[in-house]
């Protein structure tokens, strides 16, 4: 069809067809001018900007949370301060958000409860809606996972070396060219049976090596080590009973997984605190009440009757009175009351176990 000027509107200058991009640009201009469309696009842009801002702010806070958790472990003075409750973590989360983003307590609380779109591997779109607090609590999970990864890796390396290859074997996972050292299910079952995990000299030394690797990773420095009594032997590891128990727990949970014992951990609560409290009491009954060096270990609180006391109500807790920010998030458990089953790592009633003698 020709216009009054004799030109076909579908053709460009000199009668040439319009390029596809010219048509789309023209259509976009028409859409921008259409009533109601501009405001919708503006709202989407604002939402995207807000999501980007939230992600950036959350990552900034996350980077500041990990050092707090590391310092909490390394500077612990008693059992209660080694493995904090969920309320303590909520308190750290709130105060860190306030100081990092210059917000009041009320503003920080609202910010942590806000649900936005965060990157997710569980959704086809690559994003999923979740609260800022849930995103940030991944830093807590990452902290305890890093302890477990480091402890397990060092434990199996040391145990394989000390046993001259009798424990563990190399395995190359599918689609990987790098072989790694892993436990056989039979190895894990043997270590978990009775008290072998801590009474076997090789396993005990490997556990201390794992503890040493963890404190070095967390920046514990020389405060966890003393020169050996016998020149040429390994350094003496110095720590609280609660710190030793936490590392031992992570190793034992790995052994249980290899042995086929299901883990009782649920949701994204920080670690296995309930299991740790139980295991702390077990180790208190197993290890001699002494602060002397025993086969490479000196417990700072070894001679204290209260070395396994966890005072839930009176522990230093910046989160007192705060609600659990994770409430309402599916799969997010703020509690620490995990239970365990299938554990055979118990000594005889009333009879403390002797730490294995050095070979």
Q: Are 289 and 352 in contact (CB under 8 A)?
A: yes
User: Taking all residues of the chain, what is their mean pLDDT, rounded to a whole number?
Assistant: 76
What is the token pair recorded at 253?
A: 């949970």
What's the confidence (pLDDT) of residue 272? 81
Nearest to 248, CA basis, from 109, 151, 345, 123: 151
Our separate counts of H helices and E strands in the chain read 10, 7
102-138 residue pLDDT tens: 999 999 999 999 988 787 777 676 778 888 998 898 8
Q: Are 96 and 65 in contact (CB under 8 A)?
A: yes
Instruction: Tell me what percent of the residues of the chain surpass a pLDDT of 70.
Output: 71
181 strand-pairing partners: 170
The arithmetic mean of pLDDT across residues 22-28, rounded, is 48
- What is the distance between the alpha carbons of residues 303 and 352, in angstroms, rounded to a whole number? 13
130 strand-pairing partners: 116
Question: How deeply is 95 buried, as exposed, middle or buried, from its count of CB atoms within 10 A (0-12, 13-18, 19+)?
Answer: middle
Angle subtended by helix axes 86-101 and 37-74, to nearest 10: 120
The arithmetic mean of pLDDT across residues 147-154, rounded, is 95
Confidence of residue 40 (pLDDT cuts 50, 70, 90): low
Q: How far is CA 201 from CA 162, 248, 345, 347, in A?
A: 9, 15, 16, 16
Is pLDDT at 344 greater than 70 in this prediction? Answer: no
β-strands 236-239, 297-299: how paired? Answer: parallel
What's the confidence (pLDDT) of residue 33? 52
How many other C-beta atoms can be found within 10 angstroms of the C-beta atom of residue 345? 20
243-282 residue pLDDT tens: 999 999 999 999 999 998 765 554 444 468 889 999 999 9
The arithmetic mean of pLDDT across residues 222-247, rounded, is 88
What's the confidence (pLDDT) of residue 355? 43
Question: How deeply is 276 buried, as exposed, middle or buried, from its count of CB atoms within 10 A (0-12, 13-18, 19+)?
Answer: buried
| DSSP states of 144-199 | HHHHHHHHHHHHHHHHHHHTTTSS-EEE--TT----EEE--HHHHHHHHSTTHHHH
């Amino acid at each position: 069809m020709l216009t009054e000027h004799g030109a076909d509107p579908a053709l460009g200058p000199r009668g040439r067809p319009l390029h596809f991009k010219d048509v789309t640009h023209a259509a976009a201009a028409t859409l921008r001018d259409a009533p109601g469309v501009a405001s919708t696009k503006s709202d989407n842009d604002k939402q995207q900007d807000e999501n980007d801002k939230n992600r950036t702010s959350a990552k900034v806070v996350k980077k500041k949370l990990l050092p707090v958790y590391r310092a909490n472990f390394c500077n612990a003075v008693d059992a209660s301060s080694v493995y904090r409750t969920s309320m303590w973590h909520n308190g750290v989360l709130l105060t860190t958000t306030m100081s990092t983003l210059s917000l009041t307590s009320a503003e920080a609380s609202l910010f942590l409860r806000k649900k936005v779109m965060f990157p997710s591997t569980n959704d086809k779109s690559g994003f999923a809606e979740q609260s800022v607090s849930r995103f940030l609590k991944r830093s807590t999970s990452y902290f305890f996972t890093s302890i477990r990864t480091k402890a397990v890796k060092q434990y199996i390396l040391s145990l394989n070396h000390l046993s001259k290859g009798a424990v563990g074997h190399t395995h190359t996972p599918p689609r990987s060219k790098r072989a790694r050292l892993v436990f056989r299910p039979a190895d894990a079952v043997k270590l978990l049976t009775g008290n072998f995990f801590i009474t076997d000299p090789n396993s005990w030394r490997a556990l201390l090596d794992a503890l040493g690797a963890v404190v070095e990773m967390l920046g514990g420095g020389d405060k966890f080590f003393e020169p050996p009594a016998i020149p040429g032997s390994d350094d003496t590891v110095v720590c609280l009973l609660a710190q030793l128990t936490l590392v031992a727990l992570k190793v034992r949970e790995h052994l249980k997984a290899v042995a086929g014992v299901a883990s009782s951990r649920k949701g994204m609560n920080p670690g296995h605190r309930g299991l740790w409290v139980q295991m702390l009491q077990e180790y208190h009954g197993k290890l001699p009440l002494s602060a002397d060096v025993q086969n490479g270990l000196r417990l700072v609180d070894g001679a204290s009757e209260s070395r396994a006391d966890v005072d839930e109500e009176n522990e230093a807790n910046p989160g007192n009175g705060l609600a659990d920010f994770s409430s309402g998030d599916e799969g997010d458990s703020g509690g620490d009351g995990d239970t365990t089953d299938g554990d055979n790592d118990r000594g005889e009633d009333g009879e403390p176990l002797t730490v294995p003698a050095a070979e």
